């Protein structure tokens, strides 16, 4: 994949969009703070901290307060930037909920608008149940703060003294449900879209790598066919020519024709030398025939931009038969696509090595940092890999299934 495609794929990632949105909001907050420090009428920070500060008799336009809130905004932006990395969205950290809660506390302290961005991030990082509960808790917190620590905007615009408290609460609850529900929906939509994108990337890379190997197999078959034709046709005619020259030499010597016999002897030596060269060329062609498994694996790795796929390929171990190379590629494709599509892996390492450089075995290991599973259940993918290896007299083992998978394939190189 060229740099432009990688850049476009990065821009399409939810992490990039979230980071840009957070950066834009923080820049707006910074501009509003600078505008307020210049003596203009503005209310840049109107969160919980501002409500508490007013209750102590402070003025939220004071420079110390504005600078404190600005520092909290920068802390929020830094924490959000680190948490909204694509590898975290693909494989959430174990303490994702704690980090989201800390981020939400910073957002509530500063301004009522930032928690909506946190709800979007929570919908991307957490599973559906936790993300839904988090969005619901955001609504409850907003209503509670509405009565306990109302912001300046709420006191001036949203509180209606002529309405009962429950009606005010109902109106705010409905608006919070709509806003946080929209944020939750956007986050889940982005998560689903990212999952589909990873799935399509994996399928396309699998298709391209399979086509690359098929091309190599066709080339191998064509070279083998040419070598056989060269050996069978030209070798047959050269052998017949050599026999006829031997017979002619014998007849000429019998009739005592030394000049003609010498000419035939030279022709016979030339035919024998040409026959030896043809046989040597056929032998060299057959010995040099090898399926380019490395090219197919690199096509697979380059086609999945969202996951870092590292290849460690031993050149000695790549001298494989077409059947062995095809079976290994299909197994690696299955392991890699499962790691990307189902386990959310951000890093996969594929190693290929000869168990013994002079031996008949080749070993492939696929190691990923995905979620894995605590209880291993053999699905169609694992069974398919076992069957492919068993057909060639090889083995497939799952050496680790949590955290992440480590799959080992052993196959005879000349199977």
Report pLDDT digits (tens) over 158-172: 555 666 666 766 777
Q: Are strands 347-354 and 308-313 parallel, antiparallel or unpaired?
A: parallel
The architecture in CATH of the region 291-412 reads 2-Layer Sandwich (3.30)
Q: Are 83 and 113 a contacting pair, CB within 8 Å?
A: no
Dist. CA 400–CA 359, nearest whole Å? 26
Q: How many other CB atoms are found less than 10 A from the CB of residue 237?
A: 13
77 contacts 60 by C-beta, under 8 angstroms? no
pLDDT digits (tens, 9 = 90+) for 230-268: 656 565 556 666 666 676 667 666 666 665 566 566 666
Residues of the chain falling short of pLDDT 70: 1-13, 36-37, 39-45, 86-91, 150-166, 168-169, 210, 212-213, 216-217, 219-245, 247-249, 251-291, 316-317, 357-359, 415
pLDDT tens-place string over residues 353-410: 888 755 678 899 999 988 777 777 777 778 888 888 888 888 999 888 888 889 999 9
Residue 318 phi/psi, 5-degree rounding, is -90, 0
Per-residue confidence (pLDDT) for residue 134, from 0 to 100: 92
Q: What is the DSSP string of 34-89?
A: HHHHTT-------SHHHHHHHHTT--TTSHHHHHHHHHHHHHHHHHHHHHT-HHHH
Instruction: Say how many residues make up the chain.
Output: 415
Domain boundary assignment for the chain = 3-159, 219-288, 291-412
């Amino acid at each position: 994949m060229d740099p432009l495609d990688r850049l476009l794929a990065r821009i399409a990632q939810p992490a990039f969009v979230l980071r840009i949105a957070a950066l834009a909001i923080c820049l707006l907050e910074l501009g509003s703070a600078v505008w307020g420090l210049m003596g203009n009428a503005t209310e840049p920070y109107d969160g919980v901290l501002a409500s508490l500060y007013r209750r102590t008799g402070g003025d939220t336009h004071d420079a110390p307060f504005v600078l404190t809130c600005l520092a909290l905004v920068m802390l929020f932006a830094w924490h959000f930037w680190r948490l909204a990395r694509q590898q975290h969205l693909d494989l959430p950290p174990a303490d994702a909920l704690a980090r989201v809660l800390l981020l939400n506390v910073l957002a509530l302290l500063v301004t009522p608008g930032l928690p909506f961005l946190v709800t979007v991030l929570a919908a991307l990082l957490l599973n559906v149940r936790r993300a839904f509960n988090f969005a619901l808790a955001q609504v409850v917190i907003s209503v509670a703060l509405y009565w306990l620590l109302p912001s300046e905007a709420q006191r001036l615009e949203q509180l209606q003294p002529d309405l009962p408290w429950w009606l005010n609460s109902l109106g705010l609850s409905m608006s919070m449900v709509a806003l946080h529900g929209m944020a939750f929906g956007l986050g889940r939509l982005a998560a689903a879209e990212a999952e589909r994108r990873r799935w399509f990337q994996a399928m396309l890379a699998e298709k391209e790598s399979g086509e690359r190997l098929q091309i190599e197999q066709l080339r191998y078959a064509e070279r083998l066919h040419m070598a056989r034709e060269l050996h069978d046709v030209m070798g047959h005619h050269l052998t017949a020519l050599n026999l006829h020259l031997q017979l002619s030499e014998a007849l000429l010597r019998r009739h005592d024709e030394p000049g003609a016999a010498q000419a035939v002897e030279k022709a016979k030596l030339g035919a024998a030398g040409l026959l030896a060269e043809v046989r040597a060329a056929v032998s060299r062609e057959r010995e040099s025939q090898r399926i380019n498994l490395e090219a197919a694996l690199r096509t697979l790795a380059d086609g999945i931009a969202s996951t870092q796929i590292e290849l460690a390929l031993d050149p000695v171990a790549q001298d494989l038969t077409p059947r062995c190379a095809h079976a290994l590629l299909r197994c690696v494709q299955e392991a890699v696509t499962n790691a990307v599509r189902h386990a959310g892996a951000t890093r996969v390492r594929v190693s290929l090595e000869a168990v013994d450089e002079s031996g008949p075995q080749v070993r492939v290991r696929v190691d990923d940092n995905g979620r894995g599973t605590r209880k291993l259940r053999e699905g169609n993918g694992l069974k398919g890999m076992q069957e492919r290896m068993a057909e060639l007299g090889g083995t497939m083992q799952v050496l680790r299934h949590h955290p992440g998978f480590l799959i080992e394939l052993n196959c005879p190189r000349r199977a």
